[in-house]
Amino acid sequence: MAAVALTSEGEEDVTAKLAQVHLDGSSDEALEADQIKVGTKKKKKKKKPKNKKPAVSYPSSTHFFNGLNEEWTMETDGKNKIPPLGEIPPAEPTPPPETPQETAKWTALLKNNRRKLTLPAFGLLDETSRSVLDTFLTPGCKNVELETPRLKLRQVQRGDLTGIRKIKTEPIVQKTQLYGAPTLGLIQPAFQTRYIRSSIPRITTGHSRGYREEYIFAITALNPDEITLSSGDQLKASNRISDAKGYLAGNIALRLDLHGNLFPIPGQPALHPTFQQCDEAGLTGTLFYEIHPQLWGQGLMREAFREVVRFAMEEVGCESVLSDPMVGNEASIRLCLAIGMHLIKETTDNPYGKHQLVHSISRMEWYRLNRPELNLSEVGKGHWGGKEVCRWCLNPRLWNPVVVCKCGWARYCSRECQRADWVWVGGHGTECTSNQ
Ligand SMILES: [Zn+2]
Ligand SMILES: [Zn+2]
């Protein structure tokens, strides 16, 4: 694990990147290209939950469930079962060390350039900012995936726009969503680019400057052939789907709110926050989700919802997770109750003045329901809290950072992350204490 000197990247490289990036990705070709890219980059083995224990059994006496256990019936296979709960995966193995050739390549790439890059907080990304996005969106940022029995939840990609439009413009979906009926022109800037940008944890829009703002997952089928599609007769023809491949099923987002600061501190290694630090910072999560209507009624969102709540509790460290369906969205309300949430308040305090029912579950309640084998004093054991993470992607599932700046305290999972933090206008280039 040799310390490598850090310099900023060459201007030519930035220009080259500008030339090769396209974000719109609304064509199938772009979608396929993205899939191929991801497929080849991520050769990691599927992490099957070791825990084959089925069905955490929920005591019917608990007040959380209100007798709704039957909500977990999966209609596709007719078996009455609760989807198994995921778990914290083992950290990814450390990659092989850099070869001298690679070191030379990166040294040249990072040399003699103090040019700083930034991204606009909102709106559609133009050609220039798309290339910046490509520099910032490192492999470590993209490498956050969750798996359920039938689904893979991955980060939103370029190329997902067509799928996103099919959901956002569908009146049946719009009735259930706070945002109502966005225009076609608004969908790309307000949703797709926001979704993609959210994968870069250090770039915030101002809503929570102290930490990553959101995890937004595209819902995809692990095996498209096992997913049943309803006919979609009631949908607009342009919104119908004919198979369950690629992005299509919808998305599920975990928005983070906090009043403290959990970002890395200058002069210190970046550590994933402990539960105590999360609590002191008041870290809470709120879920937003939608799924294509041709996939309704199979319990798919239940799987996604349950896994994202687990991720929020066990891996991110939220002290509670909320969901606030609109009055009348019965399916969503049942989902909240089935996961163990309870109604905490009703509100119309949103930009649209709509009536929402806020449901919540605390970390302790979640552990009591889902990890009954743990003493409450053991909660947090196995959590990533305190683990050193890459200063740029902050991804706790990766190996311990192996790329080290001359200052000694700025460390990264990869050269890509090192470069991103160096060229970002708010990044390490301005805080580094070594004399470079
Ligand atoms: Zn990283
Ligand atoms: Zn440094």
5 lies in some domain: no
> Mind listing the pLDDT tens digit for each residue in 374-422?
988 888 888 999 999 999 999 999 999 999 999 999 999 999 999 999 9
DSSP string, 397-422: TSPPP-EE-TTSS-EESSHHHHHHHH
Q: Which DSSP letter does residue 261 get?
A: -
374 lies in some domain: yes
Q: How far is the CA of 422 from the centre of ligand 2 (A)?
A: 9
Q: How far is the CA of 139 from the centre of ligand 2 (A)?
A: 21
Q: How far is the CA of 266 from the centre of ligand 2 (A)?
A: 10
3 lies in some domain: no
Q: How far is the CA of 339 from the centre of ligand 1 (A)?
A: 32
262 lies in some domain: yes
Q: What is the mean pLDDT of residues 295-300?
A: 88
Mind spelling out the 3-state secondary structure of 273-320?
A: CCHHHHHHHCCEEEEEEEECHHHCCCCHHHHHHHHHHHHHHHHHCCCE
- The predicted model scores a pTM of 0.80
- Which ligand gives the minimal distance to the CA of 7? 2
In percent, the amount of the chain with pLDDT more than 70 equals 77
Q: How far is the CA of 46 from the centre of ligand 1 (A)?
A: 21
Reported as a pLDDT band with limits 50, 70 and 90, residue 337 is very high
> Mind listing the pLDDT tens digit for each residue in 213-271?
999 999 999 998 888 888 888 888 888 888 888 767 789 999 999 999 999 999 999 99
Q: How far is the CA of 394 from the centre of ligand 1 (A)?
A: 6
Helix (H) or strand (E) segment spanning residue 152: strand 151-155
- Which ligand gives the minimal distance to the CA of 418? 1
Q: What is the mean pLDDT of residues 30-48?
A: 37
- Which ligand gives the minimal distance to the CA of 416? 1
Give the domain range for residue 353.
11-430
Of the candidates 248, 283, 242, 83, the residue with the CA atom closest to the CA atom of residue 160: 248
224 lies in some domain: yes
6 lies in some domain: no
- Which ligand gives the minimal distance to the CA of 415? 1
| Count of domains observed in the chain | 1
**What's the mean per-residue pLDDT of the chain?**
79
Of the candidates 339, 345, 307, 306, the residue with the CA atom closest to the CA atom of residue 324: 345
Residues 6+ apart with CB under 8 A from 422: 6, 7, 8, 9, 110, 428, 429
356 lies in some domain: yes
Q: What is the mean pLDDT of residues 126-154?
A: 90
Angle subtended at Cα 417 by Cα 125 and Cα 108, rounded to the nearest 5 degrees = 100
- Which ligand gives the minimal distance to the CA of 391? 1
Higher pLDDT, 229 or 59: 229
435 lies in some domain: no
CATH of the domain at 178: 3.40.630.30
Q: How far is the CA of 417 from the centre of ligand 1 (A)?
A: 5
